[in-house]
Every structure is written in structure tokens, then in C-alpha cells.
Amino acid sequence: MKRKESYYIKKSDKGLKLLEEGLSLYPNNEGLNRLMAKFLYESKIADKSVYYWEKTIEIQGGKPNVSDSIGLAKALNEEGSNSRAIKVLTQIVKNNPKNQEVQYILAKTYRLTEQYQKAISLWELLFSNKSFNASEADFIESADNYSNLQKYVEASNILIEGLKKNKRSSNILSKLIDVTLLSQRWEESLNYLEEYHKLKEQVDIELSMVQQLLGNHKEADLKMQKVLNDGCKLEETYKKLTIFDNGKTRVEFYKKLEKNKRVIIVFDSLNWTWNRKPFAFDLLLRQDVDIIAVRKGKKGYFQDFSFESFNKTITKLLSGYDEKFSYGYSLGAYAAIYYTSKLECKILALSPRLSIHSEFGKKNLRGKRFLHDTHFEKNERIEPIIVYDPKNKQDRKYINEGIKPFFPNACFIESPYSGHGVAPHLLKMGLLKEFVLKFLQNEIPNYDNNLRTRSSSYYRVLGDECFKRNKPRWALDLVEHATYLDPNDSSNMRLKIHILNGLGKHKEAVNFARNCKKIVESDRTIRSLLIDSLVFMNDMEGARKEIDDYIDIFGRTPGITKKEQKLKREAENLNVNKI
């Protein structure tokens, strides 16, 4: 009877109502609470499932049976409370060290929390047990843990074991191809691709790309020609292979689905990461070039990626192209020069800068974790095109002392009062696309000064210079025009708040900052400037409220802690003066 009732409750649309009625009569019935927990878990209502699992365990006097604890852990994982699930599971493991189900769920949970080494230890324990019946997905997940730690040989080994058990698994073969590509064992990649081709689908494009990586360019061209001759319907305009990944930096190879002998290497700028498309991707994809993109997982300076690693990754690949270009902005521009100047690439570098450079970086960052060569090698053979603002003190110093002496034949294009942000400035002028296309046509781009009046950056930077030279009214007029041209630019907003406070217009600064806060809700600097403006008005209560709002949204950062302490001192001084 119990089994029938359980089945009915699980399958019936009336199940939830029946359970609710039962629990209203018998709230401490262990069986009903367990059934409710299972019903809610299967219905994907994880948070309520957790509640009823905890109630079930509570009824047992805090000494649950293993299956109930497992049920709780699963519901916690479904809810996203992975750390709590780990606590539950590790407690079970202490008392039941040989329970495979618990080991299995815990291994998967460790992966969810990026504790890959702990996950690996459990997978190794499971695979060592002859009674463990691993699925295709288990071999792949186990290999992923190794890959996430860049242990590609171990990842390959577990996948090869998986292939012995699942001889026609295209999924395992696909993963083996990825892993051998990342470990740059390209001959093996080629072999696995050929096996994959027999099992599943058209992979002549990928075969062509791997032949390129091996430097076998004739074979690569033949494979690509076969694709084009067959006239297959290509849903995409390119194919992508990741050919290097150390966890922090990736190199991605994008093959345009046509024969061409031109390639461009692009580099992420400081805040540009691999969860976005590569820098300038959409524009470059429309040109007759293949793309190699050097990506970052998060904000960083490429210091984990040596020239030797870069060179090893792409040298054979580049040897098959007649024309080689590289392009970047800011950090990406520095990287374009650092990595590709030795490879005789044609370079377009927009305001190159490395903030942690030991000689030319920002004062507060200079030399921190800086591992690259301090100076470039002198190269008279190449003619890089470098665009920068000669009025920007830091960029001017780097260009004059860190670049010009080493590239005597470089072409320097000056963009006065663009600030460091040359790329967005050119975009606002309507020139960025033209600069890139001219560059790809082996022409020198023309910077038309007359078009700079289209750019809000020009007026903002000019306004900032006026403000620094104690001409705040001129500065306000200029930043007002910058804001008119681009009302959503947070840099314009920040400068205007500064200038209004500099003119003693604190109430206007507060009103403007509050309006800006609605437009760019995630901008911490604007919220910080609003707090300063309120303090200037002696509105300590308003400043306190803004600090509390800031902490609620962003947490207690070092910057806001300093403001909090400063506010306290200001409030104390204000009270003393009143007395």
C-alpha cells in the first residue's frame, strides 16, 4: 500500500495537495516529510525540498540515515548551495567511507565549486573500484577536472580509458581532440579527428586547421579545397579551435571558411575577457583574414604568458600565411608590439600601455608582478603604426622612451586630446573602422582633426585639462558639451561632478550625481563622488545613507571603509564646531 501511495503522489497532479493535507494533520510524520522533500526535488522546487529534507532529518533526532542525507545534499546542489552540500556529504563520507554514491555526488559537487583537485581524488577512488560502472559522461567529467588544472596528459589518459569502454563514442573523441589541441600534441589531434570523421560528421575543416598547426599547409589547403568543392552548406562563417589555455590566457584560432593567406592576431585589452567576443571580431570577420585571438580569463596583464609560449603555439601556423597583421588597444596594443614585433608582423597599436611596467607604468602599480622584458628588441625591419595622444603625459613618455628608440621606422599618428582612450575616441569620430581597413590594405590611416568635434572624449579631455589649469568655468562648458554628445558616458559624468564641486556648486553636483546613479547603476565611482558631494554640503545623514546603499550593493570595499571613517571624523568636527 505504501509503495502504491508513494507512486501516486509522485505522478499525480494532485500529489502536492495530498501531501499538504497530510502534513497539516501530521506535521512531524517522518514519512510524509520525506515524500514531500522528494516530490519537491523532482518538481525542481529545490529551496522547499531542502526545508523538508531538513525537517525529516530533524525528526530523526539529528541522526539521519544515509539516503536522507544524500537527498538533502542533492537538493542543496539543485538550490545552488554547493558549500552546504559539501558539508553534508563530507560528514557522510566520514561515517561511510566506501559509499560510492556519496563519493560520486561529492566529486561532482567539488567540480561545481571549482575544487578540481579534490574532485580528481574522488574520481580516482571511484575508478580504482572494479564495481564502479562509469558512464561516458563520467569519463568526460573526470577529464574536465584535469583539464581545468592544465593536466592535459592525465585528462587524455582517462579519456583513452573511456574510449576503450565506449569504442564508438564521438563525445569522448571530441573531448580528446580538444585536450590534445590544448597540450599542443597536434599529431594526436589529427589522428583523433580522422577517427571522429569516420564515426560522426564532416570535420574536413577542423582537419585542415590542425594540418595548419602542424605546418602542413599543402595538406591543409587540399582539405579546405575539398570542403569548398563539395559545396557543403556551412551554417557558420568560421570554425574555432582553442590551441592554448593555461587557465589565465587562451589562444583561439578562428578559421574563415574560405581559402586565404592573410591572418591577424588580436589581443584583449585590460577589461576585455574571454566571455566576450575577441577584440574587433565582428569587423575582422567581414574581412579576408583568419583570426588568432589572445584572450584573458579576467582582468590581467598577460604576465603568465611568455613570448616563448606564444611563439611555440603559433609559429608553424603563421608560416602558411603570406601576410601577417596584429592589432590591439591599450594593454592589447602593448601585447601586439611585445609578442609580434619579433615575428615581422604588421602592427596597428592604439595607445599602447602596460600599467605595471617597471619603468613606464602607473606609480601605484609600477613593477608589480611584471615578468616581461623591460625593453623591446630594436627592430629596424618593421614599420608599426602607433596611434597615441601626445598630450597624455604617461603615454607620451612611454612612446618617446619605451618605443621610439626601438622601432626607428615606426609610423606615429598623433591624436591630441583624445586621452588614453584612443580607440573609443576614433570610434566616436567615425574613423576606427577606416583605420583598421586602411591598415589591412597596407595603407597609412589618416587622422582627420576636423572630425574630432564629433567625439565627446575630445571635449572631456580638453575640459579636464582646463580644470587642472584652474579654469573651471571653461572646463564646465566643455564637459557639458561632452555630456550633450554622449549623455550615457560615465567618464563625462564623473568629470562634471568633480567640476561642479570645484565651483562650489555642491547641491547641483548632488542632484546630477543622483541622476547619473540611475543611468549607470553599477558605477562605483559615481556613487563615491555623490557621497563626497553630500559631505561638502554637510549632509552627513544623506552621505551615511549613500554609504549604506553602496555596501548593500557592492559589499564593504577598502575604498568605502575609508569614506566611512572620513565621514565619522567630519561629523565629529561638525558637532564640535556647533558647540
Instruction: With a cut of 80, say whether residue 1 has pLDDT above it.
Output: no
φ/ψ of 43, rounded to 5, equals -90, 5
98 by Cβ neighbours in 10 Å (0-12 / 13-18 / 19+) ranks as: exposed
CA dihedral 368, 369, 375, 380 (to 10 degrees): -120
Q: Which residue has the higher pLDDT, 388 or 205?
A: 388
As a whole number, mean pLDDT of residues 404-418 equals 97
Domains of the chain: 2-182 (1.25.40.10), 236-454 (3.40.50.1820), 456-578 (1.25.40.10)
Percent of the chain, pLDDT > 70? 94
Residues 447-506 pLDDT 10s = 999 999 999 999 999 999 999 999 999 999 999 999 999 999 999 999 999 999 999 999
> Is residue 439's pLDDT more than 80?
yes
Evaluate if residue 4 carries a pLDDT over 50. Answer: no
- pLDDT value at position 201? 59
List pLDDT tens digits, range 189-204: 999 988 888 776 566 7
With contact defined as beta carbons under 8 Å apart, do 300 and 250 qualify?
Answer: no
SS3 238: strand
What rounded mean pLDDT belongs to the chain?
90
For 112, half-sphere exposure in the C-beta direction (CA atoms, 13 angstrom radius) is 18
pLDDT value at residue 9: 46
| 126-130, 275-279, 324-328, 361-365 — most confident range | 324-328
Cell of 394: 604617461
Q: Residue 7's pLDDT is what?
A: 43
Report whether pLDDT(233) > 70. no
**Burial of 477 (C-beta count, 10 Å sphere; 0-12/13-18/19+):** middle
Reported confidence tier of residue 383, pLDDT bands at 50, 70, 90: very high
Give yes or no for residue 575 having a pLDDT over 80.
no
pLDDT tens by residue, 46-101: 989 999 999 999 998 867 889 999 999 999 999 999 999 999 999 988 888 889 99
Cell 592589447 sits on residue:
332
Tell me the percentage of the chain whose pLDDT exceeds 90.
Answer: 72
User: 30, 29, 28, 54: which is closest to 41 by C-alpha?
Assistant: 54
Least confident of 217-231, 238-252, 368-382: 217-231
What pLDDT is attached to residue 231? 65
- Find out whether 543 and 531 touch, Cβ atoms under 8 Å: yes
Can you tell me the mean pLDDT for 544-571? 88
pLDDT attached to residue 489 = 94
Q: What is the pLDDT of residue 255?
A: 93
DSSP symbols for 308-367:
HHHHHHHHHHHTT-SEEEEEEETHHHHHHHHHHGGGT-EEEEES---TT-TTTS-TTTTT
DSSP 511-545: HHHHHHHHHSTT-HHHHHHHHHHHHHTT-HHHHHH
294-317 tens-digit pLDDT: 999 998 899 999 999 999 999 999
Give the single-character DSSP code of 260: -
Judged by DSSP in three states, 470 sits in coil
For residue 571, the model assigns a pLDDT of 75
pTM of the model: 0.81
The pLDDT value given to residue 65 = 87
Mean pLDDT, rounded, for 563-569: 85
Contact between residue 324 and residue 343 where contact means Cβ atoms under 8 Å apart = yes
Cβ proximity of 353 and 420 under 8 Å? yes
Residue 16 confidence (pLDDT): 77
Asked if the model's pLDDT at residue 378 lies above 80, the reply is yes
| pLDDT tier for residue 162 given thresholds of 50, 70 and 90 | very high
Q: Shortest CA distance to 320 belongs to which of 253, 392, 228, 368?
A: 253
Residue 367 has pLDDT above 70, yes or no: no
pLDDT surpassing 60 at residue 2: no
